[in-house]
Amino acid sequence: MLFNSIDFAIFLPLVFVLYWFVCKKHLRLQNVLIVMASYVFYGWWDWRFLSLILFSTLVDYSVGLYLHKTTTEGRRKALLWTSIGVNIGLLGFFKYYNFFVDNFVTAFSFFGASIQPNTLNIILPVGISFYTFQTLSYTIDVYRNKLEPTRDMVAFAAFVSFFPQLVAGPIERATNLLPQFYKRRRFHYSKAVDGLRQILWGLFKKVVIADNCAQFADLIFDNYTAYSGSTLLLGAVFFAFQIYGDFSGYSDIAIGTARLFGFDLKQNFAFPYFSRDIAEFWRRWHISLSTWFRDYVYIPLGGSRVSKALKVRNVLIIFLVSGFWHGANWTFIVWGLLNALYFLPLLLTNSNRSHTNVVAEHRILPSLMEFGAMGLTFMMSVLAWVFFRAETITEAFGYLIGLFNISLLKIPEIRPTYLLVLLMFFLTIEWLGRSRAYAIEVLGLQKPRFLRWGFYFLIIFLMGLFMKTNETPFIYFQF
């Protein structure tokens, strides 16, 4: 079920009414409703894959209980690896089976051998990369004795399948989200209004910014040989805003929806395109995934408290794995490698944490140096996004070769003035709200009613004016 669909517009109020008016006094009944609603939400896409969520839930719930019961280190490790093996095994089969088979065939063909293996017509379950990592965080934290295993099967099932963030995050830690299912939730009007405000901004990002950028990014990327370098640059910039508006928009809707039901999810995006270097960018982009890899892969490998050679190894591993997490294609691996190469000079010069505050803090405008640093970081990200968007490595390099030639100085053939104006409006609002959890959060802080409602109606008007007539899926559903 899509957030930007009529189905969800009916589903959400219905669940909200049942949750607060029918199940209000019964915590367990509320949790049961959440599980049922989450399974309906996911099964709306393809009910057959509900069995995967249920299987992962049962495995990790059981592993958690057995980890608590045994003190033998060997058995505890065996239980942990059972959980890792089951979850990564399912993810690997559905997401990477054909990728490895195809590359196996290519490798043998290189040496003159011809083999005909069986490939499968595998449908990738929506959100499998997200809920797999979420449930793994539970077993790993129980193994590390950072979390008491739950005996409440309903609460655990709700944690794994919580519908606002089930299919595209944020990837919640068990230490943050699971305890919230144990506590009685009370309805707070101000919290619900704040949730609706964040949902509104997330929808604007998706249906106005992302979908309109997608229209031109797709046109340019699909016909890149026909356009000048300046148009290709514009296409790459449009894709950068498409993926940001699409993914951060989803996160805003998910976080706002969770707040309607009394839950607090972690911030997943913190205005990454205002970053002053690539290290800051990765602290602000897809925060839930970046911190997951940091805590469960990077730090166990030794993190930054090792020799320079091992630091380089660890960074390469973390970015390559992150790239591969996004999809079974070499383009994602090259995208991860390129970001690693961007990041390594900062790490090796101990300047990767030079910018931990908000840019131009307590000021309206950035300095010239800050503006230049943001522009450079943004363009580095834009070039990396070319590999993320391209279908093949050949296409990505062809796109970049077409971009970096004398035609880069020409006037672009495609100049959607209305979209450029929308992007300027969007960036202005994001800039003014960059110190908040989301851009328009500040409107809830004692602002005049006419200002608040005037802005809300403006956003709704723009959505009605520029949204596409067809329901467009979110980019990260494919991951």
Which of the residues are catalytic? 326
CB-based contacts of 192: which residues, under 8 Å, 6+ apart?
Answer: 259, 260
Angle, vertex CA 477, rays to CA 160 and CA 208, nearest 5: 120
* Alpha-carbon gap, residue 253 to 205, rounded angstroms: 10
* Alpha-carbon gap, residue 358 to 400, rounded angstroms: 32
Within 13 Å and on the Cβ side, how many CA atoms surround 400? 16
Token representation of residue 24: 């209000």
In contact, 154 and 28? CB cutoff 8 Å: yes
Token representation of residue 122: 């595998």
**Cα–chain-centroid distance for residue 365?**
29
* Alpha-carbon gap, residue 114 to 93, rounded angstroms: 24
In contact, 278 and 339? CB cutoff 8 Å: yes
* Alpha-carbon gap, residue 239 to 245, rounded angstroms: 10
In contact, 282 and 343? CB cutoff 8 Å: yes
CB-based contacts of 301: which residues, under 8 Å, 6+ apart?
Answer: 310, 313, 314, 317, 318
Give the number of other CB atoms < 10 A from CB of residue 430: 20
* Alpha-carbon gap, residue 371 to 306, rounded angstroms: 34
Angle, vertex CA 432, rays to CA 426 and CA 438, nearest 5: 75
Q: Please report the sign of the dihedral spanned by the C-alpha atoms of residue 95, residue 98, residue 101, residue 107.
A: negative
In contact, 336 and 322? CB cutoff 8 Å: yes
Helix, strand, coil shares, percent, the chain, to 5: 70, 0, 30
CB-based contacts of 280: which residues, under 8 Å, 6+ apart?
Answer: 354, 355, 356, 377
In contact, 168 and 477? CB cutoff 8 Å: yes
Token representation of residue 440: 């328009």
* Alpha-carbon gap, residue 172 to 179, rounded angstroms: 12
* Alpha-carbon gap, residue 71 to 51, rounded angstroms: 31
